[in-house]
Amino acid sequence: PATVETGYEIQVPLFMETGTKVKVDTRPGEYLGRVND
């Protein structure tokens, strides 16, 4: 799991690194994908 800035924990793929920005569907609280800056 990963912890977002608000303290909420979500399940993310194993390849995620610390500091990676992600999209989260706030209704079910699920990982949607990485954010491309």
- If phi over 0 gives left and psi between -120 and 50 gives alpha, with beta otherwise, what is residue 29? left
Band of the pLDDT at 30, cuts 50, 70, 90?
very high
Mapped onto helix, strand or coil, the DSSP state of residue 31 is strand
Band of the pLDDT at 37, cuts 50, 70, 90?
confident
Per-residue model confidence as pLDDT tens digits over 5-24: 999 999 999 999 999 999 99
**Domain coordinates in residue numbering, the chain:** 2-34
pLDDT at 35: 94
pLDDT at 19: 92
Mapped onto helix, strand or coil, the DSSP state of residue 30 is strand
Q: What ranges make up the beta strands (E) of the chain?
A: 2-3, 9-10, 22-25, 30-34
2-34 belongs to which CATH class?
mainly beta
CB distance 16 to 2 below 8 Å: yes
